[in-house]
Amino acid sequence: MTRQPNFNGPLAAAMGDFITYKRMQGYTYRTQTDSLKLFDRFLTRRDCPDGVLQGDVFRRYQASIAELSPGTQEGYLSVVRVFSQYLQGLHPETAVMPANIEPCHPRRVRFYRIDPEQIRELMDATPVLRMQHPIAPQTVRFLIGLLYSTGLRISEALKLNLGDVDLPCGTLYVRRGKFAKDRLVSMTPSATEALGDWLDLRSRHAPTALSAPLLPGGKDGRLTYAQSHIAFRTLCCRCGLHGDPPPRLHDLRHNFACRCIARWREAGENVQALLPVLANAMGHVSISSTQFYVHLDAAELQPASNKFNNYFNKNKE
């Protein structure tokens, strides 16, 4: 159970109620709570008459964190802005932080394209892994294929139990994913077949109770994020997948989304109309989160377009 945070400033009670409200909506709000604690400490040196925020307090707060990076400032200030909106619902006379106070900075889209052939190389290289239990390298092998073919978050995959698998229907039941959302994830026939092979293999090395982890990392334990992260980095180095920044397990999820959009585009489908399907499969709360992959797919098309234009213009001369 998540502990209730301690606030000490003049708006401590309102901040505590705000965190409770956000967690009731399904948000964990851990990082945001830490951000709000910084604002709470700032307010301890100021007066908030009648429990409201005055308009000048936001500029003063922004100035107090001006030495931080623009991205960090944006994170801190965005939480304060949401809190001020909540507070205004209780006290209409309170000020809301203006949107233009947040510093503008270029966002770097982190994405590493991984082709199906490279996925096979990564999976085939898992025997080189030196892990404590003999089943663990095979678990990592299946994990890579699972993330690439379903778009699951790594945290969701690691929490799966055998009772969450419906092999005849080819579905996985994700319990309390991001924002505490439950959902069913459909698998392709090939992924379902691979899942069946995996269940047969793991049954010889790990417990088979419904509460047992789908992805065991040892005789009795679940594969951990640290194990999977280190193993994936090792495999990427082994297979020559490098980058700045280097590929991550989360890039498998990104690649799943981009491949879905690319297949729809190549089939002449209406990508925008199908985005809600992808959003549901990936557990997105807002369709805007899914639209990110449309832009990512378009960015991936640009180098190919430039190569074609260069080739066409060269032969035209």
Instruction: Return the active site residues.
Output: 153, 178, 250, 253, 284, 293
- In angstroms, what CA-CA distances link 235 with 25, 121, 231, 247? 39, 9, 6, 11
CA angle 275, 280, 284 (to 5 degrees): 90
Separation CA 25–CA 281 (nearest Å): 20
